[in-house]
A and B are shown apart, each in its own frame.
Chain A
Amino acid sequence: MQRTLSTRMLLNRYGALFRMPLAENLAEVGNIVSAVLVMTMFMWVFAMLWQAVFAAQGTDLIAGLTLKHTLWYLLMAELVVLSKPLLAEEISDSIKTGSIAYDLMRPLDFGLFHLSRYAGHVAFRACVNLLAGGAVVWLLVGPPPAWQGLFPAVLALMLAWGLEFCFEALIGLAAFWTEDISAFRWIHQKISFILGGLLLPLDFYPPWLAAVARVLPFASIIYAPGRLFVDPDAGRLLSTLALQLGWLVVLGFAFRLLSGRALRRLTINGG
């Protein structure tokens, strides 16, 4: 049996793990229908809400954004949040039931194993959500304000999901030390909603709060891809990617550190 695998074989291995959630999602039509329903409903409610807000203000522009900008931004923000699987719960369940030990019996890297499956799930859900939510927004306010924002937004989205993966995995691994991870999950979710700009763009915040929020990782996950999509320019692209990569290094390091400690703890004390 081959012991040292070539890069091609490694790609083959994690590529196969990436494809499984795609196939799984395709096999479950119900999953697709429910994703479409949720996304359509969310974007419809947002559109009604923001149409009313803009009408009440009697203006076409709030904090430099039009209604069209705001809705396409919110679509991207929802896309980040609604396309990810519940990785933290998956990891914490495997710790609580002890099944994590059996995962270690495969010749797989713990981080890459979860990352490839996470990416497969996200890829599928993101396509479905983008089509469903995009159709609603397009119908209500017309096409995106700047098509050239699509490629930078896709780049930023991939890094955003990378960051979100780290947060989810860190929360899940906390189950090694605390029985219940729901407190961490709750805190992370609420901070993401507020400081990430899920409910409204950070541009609408008081300037001091927006300035603080923009440099935090939550904005790199939720705010950055959407803002880049509706208002792309080279300067914004560079600063967004630099900040995202910086946080990815920090959170990636934290994940490696914590997963290393957790697995050592598992092998010494059985979890």
Chain B
Amino acid sequence: MPAPNKGKGVWRNKVVSIRVSRLTKSFRTRSKQEGLAGSWRALWKPEWRQVPAVRDISFLMERGEALGFIGPNGAGKSTTIKILCGILHPDSGTAEVLGHVPWQDRQQLCYEIGSVFGQRPQLWYHLPPVDSFHVYGAIYGLDRDATRRRVDFLVDVFELQHLLHTPVRKLSLGQRMRCEVAVSLLHAPKLLLLDEPSIGLDIVAKQRIRDTIRYMRDEEGVGVLLTSHDAGDIEALCNRVIVISDGQLIFDDTMDELKRRHLTAKQVNVRYLEEGERSLPMAGVETVAAGRYGMQIRFDPRTVGVDAVISGLNGLGSMVDITISDPDLEDIIGTIYAENALDPDAA
């Protein structure tokens, strides 16, 4: 796996919003042997062990960039984000966010970053969003007029006109999330941290959230650092991706590069008019599934030509439908994790 972007000439002329170098953090947790005897021993002679959460991570984020931060549960995403917000102190390494050392300058940094944590709502539950907007205006030191102007703008962009005066508890999850993202942008932050913003949303609501975030990114140049389990979020919003697994950075490059390097297979679904047992015995073609009227195959277009595969499939009967697609980003990320698990020193 290539080293992170540090030292690459391309960064010299860019304005950096996040600079992280060799960041390491571990937590001290209590360990206990199994059973009652183990609990008894732990009571008198507690055993502690250091659990590494983030290991030697380095990366850069350009101002106004949209960066996807992905990894399985427990990979170290949240710990990294908390360090970048100044909530956690690292054990070693350096970090700079918008020119501040986060853990030394948290209060100042608060004014320049906005955040949405899917599992931590920031709107007052029993009150309409407009009340929360005004409280956050006061918290961030905006005067009444400035708050009103900003709210009007955000209401317009996020289409919140009919939601603004309804108590938050009566809003749907998608409507609430739109309000959450809007309120996080109230103080015009330069950087927006989004942690699972689309969790639990249906496809229409997800699409709407993505569209508005993309609009704000383009309109105000706000940088977006997005962590999500939903590969669709990353694909729709980010031009660069960092993959982190087991506390280590295992991929850091553009979305296009991720696809180019890992989109090595095409998937074909085909359906025939007549019933029958079929197979395509071609080198480099793998049959994923076969049914009475159709089949699904996968092949690597670098070794087998697409036309050869199509004409092979055509020879098996009268086709009524055929689709050729790339694997999902989720599959690609799964492949990266798997590669990394096979080669722990890859990072």
Chain A interface residues toward B at CB < 8 A: 1-3, 5, 9, 12-13, 15-17, 20, 23-24, 27-28, 99, 101-102, 104-108, 266-270
Q: Report the Cα distance A9→B79, complex, angstroms.
A: 33
Q: Report the Cα distance A1→B85, complex, angstroms.
A: 18
Q: Which one, B110, B126, B135, contacts A16 given CB within 8 A?
A: B135
- In this complex, the interface size class of chain B, counting residues with CB under 8 Å from chain A, is 35 or more
Q: Is B286 an interface residue (CB 8 A)?
A: no
Complex contact A107–B27 (CB within 8 A): no
Q: Report the Cα distance A108→B87, complex, angstroms.
A: 13
Which residues of B, 65-102, contact A by the 8 Å Cβ criterion? 79, 82, 85-89
Q: Report the Cα distance A104→B110, complex, angstroms.
A: 9
* Closest chain B residue to A9, Cβ basis: B141
Minimum CB–CB distance for A100 against chain B, Å? 9
- Residues of chain B within 8 A (CB-CB) of A12 are 138
* Closest chain B residue to A1, Cβ basis: B111
Minimum CB–CB distance for A229 against chain B, Å? 33
Q: Which one, A2, A23, A24, A266, contacts B141 given CB within 8 A?
A: A2
Q: Report the Cα distance A9→B144, complex, angstroms.
A: 11
The number of inter-chain residue pairs (CB within 8 angstroms) is: 80
Among the stretches B112-120, B155-163, B205-213, B292-300, the one at the interface with A is B112-120
Q: Is B127 an interface residue (CB 8 A)?
A: yes
* Closest chain B residue to A14, Cβ basis: B138
Q: Report the Cα distance A268→B27, complex, angstroms.
A: 9
Question: Given A27-B127, A268-B89, A270-B79, are A13 and B138 neighbors across the interface (CB < 8 Å)?
Answer: yes
Question: Given A1-B188, A20-B124, A102-B120, are A107 and B139 neighbors across the interface (CB < 8 Å)?
Answer: yes
- Residues of chain A within 8 A (CB-CB) of B108 are 3
Q: 13 pairs across A/B with beta carbons < 8 Å?
A: A1-B140, A9-B141, A12-B138, A16-B135, A17-B135, A20-B127, A28-B126, A99-B120, A105-B110, A267-B103, A268-B88, A269-B27, A270-B27
* Closest chain A residue to B29, Cβ basis: A269
Complex contact B87–A104 (CB within 8 A): yes
Question: Given A13-B139, A15-B138, A269-B27, are A24 and B126 neighbors across the interface (CB < 8 Å)?
Answer: yes
Complex contact B131–A107 (CB within 8 A): no
Complex contact A102–B115 (CB within 8 A): yes
Complex contact B141–A16 (CB within 8 A): no
Complex contact B140–A107 (CB within 8 A): yes
Q: Is B106 an interface residue (CB 8 A)?
A: yes
Mark B25-40 against chain A: 1 for CB-CB distance below 8 A, else 0: 0011000000000000
- Residues of chain A within 8 A (CB-CB) of B85 are 105
- Residues of chain B within 8 A (CB-CB) of A102 are 115, 117, 120, 122
Q: Report the Cα distance A58→B115, complex, angstroms.
A: 68
Contacts beyond the supplied A17-B139, A102-B117: 12 A-B pairs with Cβ under 8 Å: A1-B188, A3-B108, A9-B138, A17-B138, A24-B126, A27-B127, A28-B126, A102-B122, A104-B106, A106-B110, A267-B88, A269-B28
* Closest chain A residue to B120, Cβ basis: A102
